[in-house]
Amino acid sequence: MTLPMSLPRRVWMGAAAAAAASLLVAAASVQAQTAWPSKPVKILVGFPGGSTPDMAARVLAESLAKTLGQPVVVENRPGAAGNVAADAVTKAIDDHTLGVVINGNLTSAKLLNPKLPFDPTKDFHLASLLATAPLVLVAPADQPPGAAWVSAMRAAGDKWSYGSVGIGSVGHLGMEVVKAAVGNLQAVHVPYNGNPAVVTAMLGGQIQMALVPPGIALPQVKAGKLQAVGLTGPRSALAPDVAPLADAGVKMNALEVWVALVGPAGLSKAAQERLAKEVPAALREAEAKQKMLAAGWDVQATSSDGLAARVKDETRILGDIITARGIKLE
């Protein structure tokens, strides 16, 4: 607005004050729009309370609440191997709903089920790779160890079987990666309802191998009931006495279980920037790292780009196996 120079001084002063007030209001409005979080933050988890993804989410929530200045609440929405909660995250529009997902939700889910209601490559903001855990290839204790066991597995052909928690699970796909790395392996897949059932079947002689988390494998190994052939990833503080499978002659791409923090693709820039700053700081504190380790996780707390790279690499690896083996959800 332009005022004529002939107006009295009091009019000029009033107009200047009004303009200043208008600028302050505008600045406050911008701040209100960009400050994040402005209310409690919700983290959806697609698995029941007490599961390892749930425990990781709760450690994160507790640490984040201290720095964000708002409550951070974990809400469990189990179903479809975590895809129910993942889909809910993609559809959130309140700018305060996030999700802790497992690798399958971002990598293999769409490859296994083209009808999945969300697209992992388009519908998420990838915030951070929170933590990883290796898988342990276990076998009966009376089998030969290491490279000798791999030779025995090859010689057994389709007389040997392996267990997993279901078609498309990381234990299933991971064993197919192992088979491809070794070559000429015919071990047959047998799905079970949970890792405890897998271990029970192995102890009973129904199957001869499986990929399971360290928390499931190590008690049986220490008790002398199973042997740890090797890890599907590099050495880990979660299983310090178990060597990588490479030491047994299995040269394969590292494959681990992991959890990640995601938001909907439309998550505000303010939220993205705040999470990029606070998530690594929260999880790298000594107390949080120790709690994650106790829950079976090795903290990573990467950048958004770090998570995106992990998703891209693993989608390629699993995509090759899914295509080569013709794996699909029934």
Q: Are 197 and 282 in contact (CB under 8 A)?
A: no
- Residue 321 pLDDT exceeds 80: yes
- Residue 228 pLDDT exceeds 60: yes
Q: CA-to-CA distance for 165 and 66, rounded, in angstroms?
A: 36
Which CATH number describes the domain made up of 136-248?
Answer: 3.40.190.10
- Residue 30 pLDDT exceeds 50: no
Nearest Cα to Cα of residue 205 among 140, 136, 137: 140
Q: CA-to-CA distance for 324 and 303, rounded, in angstroms?
A: 32
- Residue 6 pLDDT exceeds 80: no
**Confidence band of 18 (pLDDT split at 50, 70, 90):** low
Share of the chain above pLDDT 90, in %: 67
First to last CA, the chain: 68
**Confidence band of 31 (pLDDT split at 50, 70, 90):** very low
Q: CA-to-CA distance for 207 and 55, rounded, in angstroms?
A: 30
Domain 41-133+256-325's class?
Answer: alpha beta
- Residue 27 pLDDT exceeds 90: no
Looking at per-residue pLDDT, the higher value among 27 and 51 belongs to 51
β-sheet with 298-299: strand ranges across: 72-76, 41-45, 97-102, 256-264, 124-134, 298-299
Region(s) of the chain under CATH 3.40.190.150 = 41-133+256-325
pLDDT at 9: 55
Averaged pLDDT score across all residues of the chain: 88
